[in-house]
Structure 1
Amino acid sequence: MAEIKGSGGLVLVDALHRLGARRISCVAGESYLPVLDALLDYPDIDVITCRHEGGAGFMAESWGKLTGQPGICFVTRGPGVCNASIAVHTAKQDSTPLIVFMGQVRRWERGREAFQEVDVRAVFGDLAKWAVEIDDPSRIPEIVNRAWHVATTGRPGPVVIGLPEDMLSEMTTAVQADYAVPEPIGIAPAALDKVATMIRESSRPLVILGGAGWDDAACAEFASFASAAHLPVAAAFRRHDLIDHRHACYVGELGTGPNPKLLERVKQSDLLIVVGARLDEITTQSYALIDAPVPTQKLIHIHADAAELGKVYTPTLAIQADMIPAASALAGIAFNLGGRERAGWKDDARADFTAWTDIDLANRPTFNGPDMTAIFSYLRDVLPDNAVVTTDAGNFSGWAQRYLRYRRPGRLLAPLSGAMGYAVPSAVGASIHHPDRVVLGLCGDGGFMMTGQELATAMHHGAHPVIMICNNGMYGTIRMHQERKYPGRISATTLTNPDFVALAQAYGAFTARISKTEEFAGVWEQAVNAGRVAVIEIAMDPRQLTTGAV
């Protein structure tokens, strides 16, 4: 515990520093100038200046995913925080720890609809885990510590904090209390015994793995548990990176465009072991894959937040536990579960996955321009084990979901919220955080145009991700649905794009346009070794809408 004297802005930056924050994203605003000034006194906090608040928010959200600690983002009042709200929504749906600090009008102006005023509690009361405004600068450490706790515990998520401009300028004396890191919640021995009994009594178990709160060690322990118990493991929507895809127990992902045989296997299972996942709409195929509210199968649901247990599905056994101690506890009982009699069930599921993701380039349909499947076949072979892949929303992400092989410590950063514009800023953020790793950001022409200006941020801060723009001249996912429901009636989904190569060159990026499949390998090597942000445009045939397009 220590006492600090100074402006509210100084107290705030000191509080973040004591909590361990060493990087923030921001778009500068006059409403929080005391914070920007105080950051000069803390040179070990890296300040990443972004070009749009949506990009700044996504960048901070990517750090929350990568570290398990809150990503920190500062934006100005009104338009600034409204722009950043897309990242708040993404952090909420993705269970990502994030703290967004927003400048606010002066305290005596509130409630008068002053210039750029927003009511932080009203606007973000449901969108965030907690929305609050600081009225008294002496309470800054208290509220920031609580925000850190709310963002990281239970089901992680976003916190939005309003900072009245005059409060940040006011001089104060504040007590900086050390943050008490909560002890993680483990699985009680009695509950662990029930888990073991239910697995031993099962002949067709299946694991659905997902959620937040994992680290490399926990992922490894869970993989050893699944291996010893001969359990097939499916990843929840966009949580591919929680288990090495070379592992004999991995059987695919439950997301958009999943393997039909995996869906059938879920229905055939007699025990679902859901660890960390929320059983959300996409994972459960609009709540139709698993009967709601009472599943046909027995259901073990392990989640860090008690509010998620029984939220949609009534479990046979509900366990509140954090993922790191849960994985360790499960690994401890793995060799007492038997499982050889279940090995055939698991091996068959693995064979289904292998067949589903097999690529036969000799029997591909002919498209005008590059073949996306061939390109991803190449990427699957050359991406390093520790590569970070970020994806936007769009049909092009289907190739990354189906064909890439995710490993540990490699990561997939993809918005469960389905937010467009995510890939570029999250790739820039990942490259800043892991400058020694290959980072691939995948986006469509539509998504790139939403946050592509963060290429300037990459150049400014020396980030060097490879951004791949899959350009088919339309909002492809919407066009697919449009063609399905209203065949031949095209409305509002055709796009007129700039010259992406010329645009990226203007930013100073390495650039290339791929018009033939065989050009990709050479360009990829140049892009990875360019030493700066690289942009590769894939001139797609609009007919190649999905991995199954013929």
Structure 2
Amino acid sequence: MPRSAGHLIVDTLEAAGVERVYAVPGESYLDVLDGLYDSSVETVVCRQEGGAGFMALSESRLTGRPGIAMVTRGPGAANAMISLHTAWQDATALVLFVGLVPISDRSRESFQEFSLSGWFSSTTKRVFTIDDEHRAGELTAEALRIAASGRPGPVVVGLPEDVLVRLTEAPVPTRAEVAPPTPATTEIESLTARIAAAERPAFVLGGDGWQSGCGRSLGEWAASAGIPIFCDWRAYDALPHSSPAWAGWLGYGRADVVAAGFAEADLLVFVGCTRSDVASDGYTIGFDAETVIVTGDPEAKQHAGRIDQQILASPLTFTEALTSIDAGSARGARTDEWMRERAAIQSRFAAHRPDAEAGAGSVAASEAGTDVPAEPGSTHPGVDLGVAFGILDDRLGGDAILTYGAGNATIWGHRFIRHNEPASLVGARNGAMGLAVPAAVAASLAFPNRRAVAICGDGDFLMNGQEIATAFAHGGKPLIIVIDNGVYGTIVSHQENHYPGRPSGTRMVNPDFATWMSAFDARSGAASARSTADDAASSSRATGMTGHGERVETTADFEPALERALAHDGPALIHVLVDPETMPPAGDETS
């Protein structure tokens, strides 16, 4: 029986097991929206295309399946670009469907026309345009396959408005399973011999692909062989932090002594990641060691420096192959001293302590202009984040999903919050701001039985804070913690290094975020008319849900506010005020 190309696209997504698409509607892909009307695929209606893309990226990072976003042509596609760049640099599987002008209107500078390939070909794995209605299902399935295969990344699919409504009898294509490469026995034996011969070997885990929990098995094997494990920037949920092999993370905000251990290793085994500029402190450390790369990407993109052995494998297939070998055969003459020393250093660095003891610095933020009440008996106004994040870590217990955008405010979370479960961290590894809130909303929708917590600065929050409305519409219940210092803190810190005493272009004026959150009430939205069954189902889930917001100005007030927020059955926000001169905990500890 004939169906439209737009409906075939939806049927293909449904057959592939897609559970949600994150969309901002547009007239250019109405037939796809019509196909979603009675589909089992949930349409999560977002408030801005950048937020939709970040939500799709978050779901992909947490589930291992390509995230799906849908936007309209021109301005909509432009807004979604930030998520494509993030997925490209972060190597995360994402498929973005973009509505396009009718084929007959091309190359005439028609309304919202643009070049799909011209915009996106340099930051995607592939750009398709469905010009033939009979291939709509085929190209949709191909986009899903390519996004998840090899080095994962984004794929863009263009949807000409007129092609979508054409009828076709093409069947839904058979789903092509992406089988990750499996290392050969000889490769694992060669690696084991390298490890046994090394005095100071180390693993570096990173990238996506750890959702199965294989990092726990790899950690147990490494601990038995006396090998410390570092994790790449914002990928440190790959290994439970309770592991005796856990040696800390590399990249921004890391401890100098952790980086020194990375630099001292005489064998580095990168699994799921590479030696990038971030991990190597701008291509300055870790280049002298014998190097093994374990990746699904034959080209080893982003890797710098020597490669002595490359193994094509996913984190799971590599772990299964390596742990089938007795760890004792990889120990050689080593004791556990090297591993225990690295683990102890990270343990001391992550121990909860007030900012003054954790090495939080100050800068002259003359442009900040933020009045923050001083806590009685304190030398710095506002909340002590070292104390606050220690409390947060204790309450979350290593089980929550943490999401981060960019900015100095995230460093306290990276340092003090444990991750003992896989798929518990979503952060923009490319430094994109505005990811924290939409990522937490998506995490809450994909895993409703887990706590999702967004950690963001005031600058990061206001870049996509509108997606809180999406949480209310679809029943998500994230906790959002906004650290408010009234400045773009990361840029201020750089200015103080290069142009001391001359902060410029970094001041912000903020609303009372707690009041803003408390204004949300899903009961008011639920009463409005709904035009689709999907919208009606969403409002039913959200009925009666209200927002909870609190403004915290002193350290003593943080814990009770956190308890109330965690107890609230709905989205919650804690607006935390801090001194604009406070900078993140220093990473220059010597022991």
TM-score (normalizing by structure 1)? 0.96
- Tell me whether 174-183 or 475-484 shows the greater mean CA deviation: 174-183
How far is the alpha carbon of 1:320 from its aligned partner?
A: 1.2
Cα distance in 1 for residues equivalent to 2:279 and 2:271? 13
1:351 equivalent in structure 2: 344
1:274 aligns with 2:270: yes
After TM superposition, the structure 1 = structure 2 runs for residues 166-205 of structure 1, keeping only pairs within 5 Å, are 166-205=162-201
- Structure 2 counterpart of 1:374, one-letter code: V
Cα distance in 2 for residues equivalent to 1:330 and 1:34? 49
Cα distance in 2 for residues equivalent to 1:155 and 1:281? 18
Q: Deviations over 1:387-416 (max 9, x none)?
A: 100011000111111111111146111000
Cα distance in 2 for residues equivalent to 1:424 and 1:267? 35
**SS in structure 2 of the partner of residue 396 of structure 1:** helix
- Closer/same/farther in 2, CA of residues 310 and 26 from structure 1, 3 Å limit: closer
1:39 equivalent in structure 2: 36
What is the alpha-carbon root mean square deviation over aligned residues?
1.7
Which residue of the other structure, out of 568, 573, 577, is the alignment partner of 1:539?
A: 577
Q: For structure 1, list consecutive stretches of 5 or more residues without a partner in the other structure.
A: none
Cα distance in 2 for residues equivalent to 1:434 and 1:464? 10
How far is the alpha carbon of 1:49 from its aligned partner?
A: 0.5
Cα distance in 1 for residues equivalent to 2:92 and 2:353? 37
- Closer/same/farther in 2, CA of residues 435 and 230 from structure 1, 3 Å limit: same
Cα distance in 2 for residues equivalent to 1:438 and 1:134? 39
1:512 equivalent in structure 2: 550
- Structure 2 counterpart of 1:485, one-letter code: H
**SS in structure 1 of the partner of residue 268 of structure 2:** strand
**SS in structure 2 of the partner of residue 307 of structure 1:** coil
TM-score (normalizing by structure 2)? 0.89
**SS in structure 1 of the partner of residue 60 of structure 2:** helix
- Structure 2 counterpart of 1:215, one-letter code: Q
How far is the alpha carbon of 1:189 from its aligned partner?
A: 1.3
Contact 1:384–1:438 (Cα < 8 Å) also in 2? no
How far is the alpha carbon of 1:309 from its aligned partner?
A: 6.8
**SS in structure 2 of the partner of residue 66 of structure 1:** helix
Q: Deviations over 1:67-111 (max 9, x none)?
A: 111111110000001101101111111111110000000011111
Which residue of the other structure, out of 26, 32, 57, is the alignment partner of 1:29?
A: 26
1:243 aligns with 2:246: no
How far is the alpha carbon of 1:298 from its aligned partner?
A: 0.8
- Structure 1 counterpart of 2:13, one-letter code: L
1:75 aligns with 2:67: no
Cα distance in 2 for residues equivalent to 1:439 and 1:413? 10
2:296 equivalent in structure 1: 304
1:332 aligns with 2:324: yes
- Tell me whether 355-364 or 476-485 shows the greater mean CA deviation: 355-364
Contact 1:512–1:537 (Cα < 8 Å) also in 2? yes
Cα distance in 2 for residues equivalent to 1:396 and 1:342? 39
1:402 equivalent in structure 2: 415
After TM superposition, the structure 1 = structure 2 runs for residues 317-466 of structure 1, keeping only pairs within 5 Å, are 317-333=309-325, 334-338=327-331, 341-361=334-354, 364=357, 366-409=379-422, 411-466=424-479
How far is the alpha carbon of 1:342 from its aligned partner?
A: 3.5
1:18 equivalent in structure 2: 15
Contact 1:309–1:315 (Cα < 8 Å) also in 2? no
1:97 equivalent in structure 2: 93
- Closer/same/farther in 2, CA of residues 404 and 216 from structure 1, 3 Å limit: same
Cα distance in 2 for residues equivalent to 1:38 and 1:310? 39
Cα distance in 2 for residues equivalent to 1:480 and 1:219? 35
How far is the alpha carbon of 1:418 from its aligned partner?
A: 0.5
Cα distance in 1 for residues equivalent to 2:319 and 2:445? 30
Which residue of the other structure, out of 299, 304, 307, is the alignment partner of 1:315?
A: 307
Cα distance in 2 for residues equivalent to 1:257 and 1:467? 22
Aligned residue pairs, count: 542
- Structure 2 counterpart of 1:456, one-letter code: A
Contact 2:256–2:587 (Cα < 8 Å) also in 1? no
2:2 equivalent in structure 1: 5
Cα distance in 2 for residues equivalent to 1:476 and 1:62? 25
Q: For structure 2, list consecutive stretches of 5 or more residues without a partner in the other structure.
A: 361-378, 522-546
Cα distance in 2 for residues equivalent to 1:225 and 1:306? 26
- Structure 2 counterpart of 1:25, one-letter code: Y
Contact 1:25–1:56 (Cα < 8 Å) also in 2? yes
Contact 1:240–1:253 (Cα < 8 Å) also in 2? yes
How far is the alpha carbon of 1:434 from its aligned partner?
A: 1.0
Contact 1:99–1:160 (Cα < 8 Å) also in 2? yes
**SS in structure 2 of the partner of residue 525 of structure 1:** helix
- Tell me whether 45-54 or 207-216 shows the greater mean CA deviation: 207-216
- Structure 2 counterpart of 1:433, one-letter code: A
Identity of aligned residues (%): 36
Cα distance in 2 for residues equivalent to 1:151 and 1:217? 22
Cα distance in 2 for residues equivalent to 1:483 and 1:394? 16
- Structure 1 counterpart of 2:53, one-letter code: G
Cα distance in 2 for residues equivalent to 1:477 and 1:492? 12
Cα distance in 2 for residues equivalent to 1:310 and 1:88? 17
**SS in structure 2 of the partner of residue 545 of structure 1:** strand
Contact 1:230–1:340 (Cα < 8 Å) also in 2? no
Q: Deviations over 1:125-172 (max 9, x none)?
A: 011111111100110121111111110011111111110000011111
1:114 aligns with 2:114: no
- Structure 2 counterpart of 1:245, one-letter code: H
Cα distance in 2 for residues equivalent to 1:417 and 1:87? 10
- Structure 2 counterpart of 1:40, one-letter code: Y
Contact 2:238–2:422 (Cα < 8 Å) also in 1? no
Cα distance in 2 for residues equivalent to 1:6 and 1:122? 31
Contact 2:548–2:568 (Cα < 8 Å) also in 1? yes
